[in-house]
Structure 1
């Protein structure tokens, strides 16, 4: 079983290192096909990719923040992430249809 930390943001990587997380691979991009049952993916995945991780038997831990509007849209430092309440929350995501829904 492997643990992947997924982020292209240096502040998020530094925050994770400060938490002492046991990470096997630090990635800027995840190929979902590499996730095996029992693996853990940590990051801020789009919902459809989080669902794919879960469908493959992986765990998804989301890096959640309570981000004030003035901090949105820019790179954050590890200290700013801490002040924004950075934390890991486990989610189980499942696609209802397994494919796109026809909303017409």
Structure 2
């Protein structure tokens, strides 16, 4: 099993390290073909990529936080992430075919 952390944000990287989160591969962007069953993918993926991660039999843990509107679009520090209650929450995402 490989644990991937997908983020291009330095504050998120520092936050994960300070929280003791074990990561095998730290990447700016996800190439879903690298994901195998039983891997874990951490980050804030677009929903279609999260669904592909889950379809491959991997776990998707979303980096969640209560971000106020005035902080959106800004780089956050590890301390900012803690202040906004950052945590990793597992989600199961799947695509639904519509007819």
Name the TM-score class by shorter chain. Answer: over 0.9
SS in 1 for 2:54: helix
Who is 1:77 aligned against? Answer: 77
Aligned residues: 99
Which of the pair has more CA radius of gyration?
1
Give a deviation string over 1:44-96, Cα, whole Å, max 9, x none.
Answer: 00000000000000000000010011111110000001000100000000001
User: Displaced runs of 4+ in structure 1, greater than 2 A?
Assistant: none
| Structure 2 segments unaligned to the other structure (5+ residues) | none
CA distance in structure 2 between the aligned counterparts of 1:22 and 1:77, rounded to whole angstroms:
19
Please report how far the alpha carbon of residue 36 of structure 1 lies from its aligned counterpart in structure 2 after TM superposition: 0.3
Q: Equivalences for 1:24-103 in 2 at 5 Å?
A: 24-97=24-97
Q: Normalising by the residue count of structure 1, what TM-score does the alignment of the two structures yield?
A: 0.92
- Alignment RMSD (CA, Å): 1.0
Runs of 5+ consecutive residues of structure 1 not aligned to the other structure: none
Scaled by the length of structure 2, the TM-score of the pair is: 0.97
What's the offset of the Cα at 1:18?
0.7
Aligned match of 2:20: 20
Deviation at 1:33, TM superposition (A): 0.4
